[in-house]
Structures are given as C-alpha cells and as structure tokens.
Chain A
Amino acid sequence: MSRTDLPEPDRRPSLAVWKFASCDGCQLSLLDCEDELLTLAKVVDIAHFSEMSRASAEGPYDVSLVEGSITTPDDAQRILEIRSSSHLLVTIGACATAGGIQGLRNFAASGAYASAVYAHPEYIDALETSTPIAAHVEVDYELHGCPVDRSQLLEVLTASLAGRTPVIPGHSVCQECKSRGTVCLLVAGDTPCLGPVTRAGCGAICPSMDRGCFGCFGPADTANTASLAAHLRLQGMAPVDVSRLFATFNAGAPAFRHEALAQGGPVPSAPVRITHRAEREGPR
C-alpha cells in the first residue's frame, strides 16, 4: 500500500463501508467476524456502515471498504466522492474487483439486457456495463473472492491500519489442495477444476468436497488459462462449457474474460429466446 500516513495515536482511525451493485455478502463477512466485531469497534471508529448502523459520520475516512460494481451513472459519480474522502480505499469481493456476476451483461450485445427485460426500461437508469471500482478511481488494495474470506478481510483491515502491505497469497488454489492433502480432481478424477488458474484464499473448499474449483477468487497472479482450457477440451468438455466455467463471478477479470471469449462465449451460439411471462403463458 502506498499511502501510509496514519492518524495520530490519540485518535481512533475511522472506517467506512460502502455498497455498490452487489449481494451484501462481502460486507456481511465483516459482521460474520463474531469474535472480533466488538473488539474491532473499539479500535476503529466505524464512521459509516449503513448495513450495521443508523449513525453516519462525515468524512474524511482513514479506510474505506468498497463492495460492489459500478452499474449506474449515479454510482459512477458517488465513487469519485468516496475516493476523494478516503485516505485508503480497499475494494472487497468479485463485484468490486472484477464487475461481478452482473458483469455478464458486458458479454451481451449493446442494450440487450435492459430492453429484453423491463416492461418500462425508461424507469431504469442503468449503464450497459458493470465495471470494477478500479476502472473509475485509484484503488489502494484489492481483496478478491466471491465472497471474500473472513480472515483475509481482517488481515487487510489490520494491515491498512498498521500502514503495512497485507500478506495475501497470489498463488493458485492447487497449493492449498496440496497443503491440505486433497487428491487432485483434475488429474485423478477427470473433474473439471479451475484450481490451477484461480487465486488461493478459500482454503480449497470445493476440491475437498469432491467438487472442481469454479473460480470464485478470480485469476491467480500467473494464470495460464489457455493451457488449462486445452486440458479441459482434451477431457471432452465442449467449448461452451469451458467458456461458462470461466464466465461466472469473475468474468470481467481479464484472464478469465479472454479465455471465455476464446472458447466462443458463455451462452450457446444459437439465438436464445427471451420471453416475457405474459407472452409465454398467454394473456391474463
């Protein structure tokens, strides 16, 4: 982290939590720190966290945690204001760092979603894209995951307050499987797995439950997605299935997006019928 000036020792550092387009799960991870929450509230001043408190203090804030992606013109403006009132800005989760599952709209033809979906699209003031926070403002640190891992979140908070760089791995899920002794699903079981190209941090929970990794934490630092895709194809997966595997919660992360498109995109090439319910079921 670049900005290391800390508040004077007699003042508690202030923390703000902000939400954009998201499911609330990453900020919930903070409330899920049941053992640490009350202690945290003692050492930092929780100045703005609307899911948790009615009270809200004006900035500037020492640390802002930002959840969610930018999908509306208002939000594109609001993130600028939050940046300017935040000393450190940390994005948390796949929506904030890669555009989230709602980033799948970026694969669709221009305007396709809004016009296919709303009876009154004019009521909706939304952008045609879902973009990560870093596409709009400078971000001091990005914490990945869908959702973020609780202990990583605490590490990032602690490091931010101490003015040091968080210790968060950039290697792949494979190393977590090896360290917990899970047999490789991809090699031994022919189970499609994104572990070799996915950032560690979850503890390799999916392979431990006999399920291939599905990429919640986004691409690892040195992800060779083309090699993995070739392997999956050799195992007999259809290109559309390989593409879908890469195009979920981190579909906007460049390495995953590139591979999803290289395989032809996440939906079948034949035109898909999008029907309104009234048409599908007849007039009422």
Chain B
Amino acid sequence: MTHGSGSPRTIGVEGLSRVEGEGSLRVVVHDGTVTDVALEIFEPPRYFEALLVGRHFTEAPDITARICGICPVAYQMSACSAMEAACGVVVDDRVASLRRLLYCGEWIQSHALHIYLLHAPDFLGCADAVELAERDRTAVERGLSIKRTGNLIMETVGGRAVHPVNVRVGGFYRAPDPEAVAALAEPLRRARDAALETVEWVSRFEFPDVIGDYRFVALRDPGRYPIERGRPASSDGLDLGPAEFGDLAVEEHVARSTALHARLAGRDPYLTGPMARYALNSAVLPPIAADAAAMAGLGPVCSNPFQSIVVRSVELVVACDEALALVEAYLPPDPPASEVRPRPGVGTGVTEAPRGLLLHRYEIDAEGTILAARIMPPTSQNQLTIEADLRRVVQEGLHLEDDDLQWRCEQAVRNHDPCISCAAHFLDVSVVET
C-alpha cells in the first residue's frame, strides 16, 4: 500500500464498540510516521463530584455506584474506604472479608464479560460473542456460566448484581445467612475450573508482537493479591499511602475528552489494571493461579498489551479461588457494620476496580455533609498510555490494510478494558496544560 507524502493516512473509529461507554479513536500517519493519536471520550459528563457536594457522607457509596453499572462495587468500596478514613474507623476483619468476597464477585462478572463478550471475539475474527457462539458455543457458554457465578455472589452478598444495595459506610446492612454463602461453594468450584480452562483457551490465541514500555501502578497488599485494599506502588519504585498517591496523581483537562488525563509525580504516564496488578503482585498469586500463569507462558511481568486477556484470565482464577476460600471461612459479621460518626476531615480510599485503581477522596464537615469530592477512575489514568499503545500498534502495523489496521486499533483500546462511562466525570481540575 502506498501513501505518498502530503496525503496523511487517517485511521478512525467513530463509535468504539465493545467498550463500556461512548468514545472514538483517531490516528494520523504522515510519511510513514504516526503524527497524531487521540482516544476521544465524548461520553456526556455527569458531574458526580459536583452533585455529591452537600449530600450526606453515607450517601456516597450508592450515588457513586451509579457512575458505572459494570463496576459499582468498586465505587462503593472506594467510597466506604474514603469515608471510614475521614472518620477514623477501621472495619473489623469479618466485614473486610465479606467486602473482599463481594468484590471478587464483581471481578468475576466483569472479567468474564470482558474476556468472553468484549475481547475474545477480536482474536477470533468475530464481530461479537453471538458470532463466536456460532463457531464455538461451548466457549461462550463457559464464559456466561462464569459470569453468572460472579453475579450470584453479588446477589447473595449485595442483594443484586447491578448496583448492590447491601453496602454501607462501616460495613453491610445485613450479614448474609451462612447457608446462602455456603451455597456459593459449588458454583465457585465449577467457575474456578472454568477459569483455568479460560487461561488455557486464551493462551492459544495469536498475539501481535508488540511490547510496551510500561510504568505500572497498582496496589500492594502484603502477602495477597490486592483487591479491596492496599498501598499504591509503581514499577519504578514508588510506595505510597492512599492520600500521598492522591496528592501526586495529577489530572489534566484536554479539549478532546470529557475524562481527565493523569500523570503521577510529574513523570511519564502510567498504566493501572490487570497487567499492572500482575507485574507488581505476581509473587503473591495463589498457587493455583501461579501454576496457570506458568502454563500459559506468562513470566513475572507481561508487557504485551494484547496478552492482557491472558493476565485477566489468570485474575479470574485468583478471584474464583479467593472467593471460594472466603466462602469456606465465612463467619457473619456481628454487628454487620461498625458505627461511623462523622467528624470534620478529609479521607482517601483506593481499591482495585476490575479495570484498575480507583481513588475517591472526600472532605466532610462535623455533620457529615460532603464539602468536596474527587474521583479518579482507572480509565482516565490509563488514557495517555492507551494512546501510546495506539501509536506503537499503528507504527508497527503500517503494512496492514486500513480495515485490518482499524480493527487492530480497536483491539489495542479494548486490551485495557476501558470504561468510558467511568472516565467521563472528573471535574475537580488542578493543573491544565494548554
């Protein structure tokens, strides 16, 4: 294919599909060099940080859950964690364990959704999972069955799968009955087996040979894989408390996006999500997941973004295995929630949403009225890195026909499971580069 000088080649996708939310991408190539890359987010802003101001601190978990229907638990957990930090409350171990179980449910449903319905069709040349099912119904049914188990955990612990109702600042409204929790064990054993099959299935896909030079940022939770708590850390040596991380992560407001672009400590962009969590925590994988990762040929760090589907599948094993252990050890918290009395202050909460680190910070007054709110979702943190990936993928795929290159670009975006609904409601802007 020839593209003479003076006639830029443009690869564009108007409405990105198989992502959560509304976005587009545009890449411009001039004389064989990528000159412009933009992941554009045109999801309408919903002003969450503004509408939270004046609300009661106990309302934040339910209100912020509505930022994202795919990862509402992540929002509830980061909100609870931030409010408890502001009020000086540490929840008891049983509440913490039940939160981790609920969060595992969300990881399982979200990861199964992304692997089977949103991402795998790319590797197999299908437009969607329905087309994929025509060729390999067993695989799609396996994915749906894993997803159903994730939803079952959310329904049992949280009351329903989308926007669970049982979460409150301090804990839960009601501890689920031991019998109901015990009934999750059998579906979880099947889901864990299916997750192992998933790792094997996706490890056989063909991956474009693209290696990213990533700066990874993820939580670390001593001795175990980070989900509902931990300290933010980076692959270049940062180890931060949640509040420090909030101070150092700076978001920029640019014209093409209703999401902020984040940089950390004034340095390069960074990546959060499964690849980052894995790179910083592969040493603490549960044995069954470590074995699966080894069988799939993953080293301690994975830097090929197209292999994120393998990492995500390993995390599916982690979540099923963790959930099963939590179910088997379940003791109902009594009372189901700690009492949380408001006091004037600021609190920061960070947890690992399925697609990456999610930070909430609130300032509240003595009555518990929210004075200021800041929410930093994973996709706005990842946006600059996704654009760097697009640049690399296009540069190394210039030999491809436009349609194929366009599809590969879409795939490069989907590698990071962006949640555009999440990303489009930053508001609290501190630094703007123009």
Q: Which of B95-103, B141-149, B205-213 contacts A (4 or more CB under 8 A)?
A: B141-149
Tell me if A46 and B130 are in contact (CB < 8 A): yes
- Of A131-139, A218-226, A271-279, the one contacting chain B is A271-279
Cβ contact within 8 Å between A102 and B46? yes
Q: Which of A256-284 contact B (CB under 8 A)?
A: 266-268, 272-278, 280-281, 284
Interfacial chain B residues near A46, Cβ < 8 Å:
128, 130
Once the chains bind, are B253 and A117 in contact (CB under 8 Å)?
no
| CA distance in complex: A73, B103 (Å) | 37
Q: How far is the CB of B267 from chain A (nearest CB, A)?
A: 14
| List of B residues within 8 angstroms of A190 by Cβ | none
> Are B144 and A37 interface neighbours, CB within 8 A?
yes
Query: In the complex the two chains form, what is the Cα distance from A27 to B18 in whole Å?
Result: 12
Tell me whether B69 and A209 are in contact (CB under 8 A).
Answer: no
Given contacts A120-B253, A147-B69, contact A126 B44 (CB under 8 A): yes
**Which residue in chain B gives the minimum CB-CB distance to A122?**
B255
Q: Does A116 contact B (CB under 8 A)?
A: yes
Within 8 A of A (CB), among B1-34: 15-22
Q: A53-B128, A118-B427, A205-B165 are in contact. Are A123 and B255 (CB under 8 A)?
A: yes
The answer, among B47, B247, B430, for a CB contact under 8 Å with A102, is B47
Q: Is the CB of A267 within 8 A of B163?
A: no
Contacts of B407 on A, CB cut-off 8 Å? 54
Mask, B146-176, CB within 8 Å of A = 1, is: 0110010000000111110110100011100
Q: Tell me if A25 counts as interface (CB < 8 A to partner B).
A: yes
Give me the interface of B with A, judged by CB distance under 8 Å: 15-22, 43-51, 53-56, 59, 62-63, 66-70, 72, 109, 113, 117, 121, 127-131, 133, 137, 140-141, 144-145, 147-148, 151, 159-163, 165-166, 168, 172-174, 247, 250, 253-255, 258, 363, 369, 371-372, 374, 407, 410, 421, 427-432
Interface-facing stretch out of A2-10, A80-88, A167-175, A241-249: A241-249
| Contact between B17 and A211, CB atoms less than 8 A apart | no
Contact, CB under 8 Å: B117 / A32: no
Contacts of A130 in B (CB 8 A): 46
Q: Is the CB of A75 within 8 A of B430?
A: no
The reply to whether A54 and B410 contact each other, CB–CB distance below 8 Å, is yes
Q: Is the CB of B68 within 8 A of A113?
A: no
Chain A nearest CB, measured from B298 CB (Å): 27
The 4 closest A-B pairs by CB, nearest first: A25-B69, A267-B54, A53-B128, A119-B429
**What separation, in Å, do the CA atoms of A24 and B23 have in the docked complex?**
13
Q: Given contacts A35-B144, A273-B53, A277-B430, list 17 more A-B pairs with CB under 8 A.
A: A20-B44, A21-B46, A24-B70, A32-B161, A34-B147, A41-B133, A52-B18, A54-B121, A55-B127, A56-B15, A101-B51, A118-B427, A118-B429, A202-B160, A209-B174, A244-B56, A276-B430
Could you say which residues of chain A place their CB within 8 Å of the CB of B20? 24, 51
Instruction: Contact check, B117 vs A52: say whether CB atoms are below 8 A apart.
Output: yes
Contact with B along A12-50 (1 / 0, CB 8 A): 000000011111111111011011011001000010001
Across the interface, name the chain A residue whose C-beta is closest to B113: A31
With A28-B162, A55-B127, A267-B53 as known contacts, state yes or no: A75 contacts B44, CB within 8 Å. Answer: yes
Do B21 and A24 touch across chains, with their CB atoms under 8 A apart? yes
A124 located at the interface, meaning its Cβ lies under 8 Å from any Cβ of chain B in the complex: yes
Q: Are A244 and B166 CB-contacts (below 8 A) given A50-B15, A124-B258?
A: no
Q: Which A positions have Cβ atoms within 8 angstroms of B?
A: 19-29, 31-32, 34-35, 37-38, 41, 46, 50-56, 71-72, 75, 100-102, 104-105, 108, 112-114, 116-120, 123-124, 126, 130, 146-147, 202, 205-206, 208-211, 214, 216, 241, 244, 248-249, 266-268, 272-278, 280-281, 284
Closest to A127 in B: B44
In the complex, how many angstroms separate the beta carbon of B135 from the nearest chain A beta carbon?
13
Say yes or no: A31-B429 contact (C-beta < 8 A), given A24-B69, A275-B372. no
B253 touches A50 (CB 8 A): no
Taking a contact as CB atoms under 8 Å apart, the answer to whether A205 and B144 are in contact is: no
Contact present for B17 and A210 (CB under 8 Å): no
Q: Is the beta-carbon distance between B66 and A146 smaller than 8 angstroms?
A: yes
Contact B53 A274 (CB under 8 A): yes
Chain A residues lying within 8 Å of B16, measured Cβ to Cβ, are: 50
A54 touches B173 (CB 8 A): no
Nearest-neighbor residue (CB-CB) of A56 within chain B? B17
Which of A21, A108, A278 has a CB less than 8 Å from the CB of B430? A278
Shortest C-beta distance, A155 to chain B (Å), equals 17
Interface centre among A25, A41, A208 (most CB of B within 10 A): A25
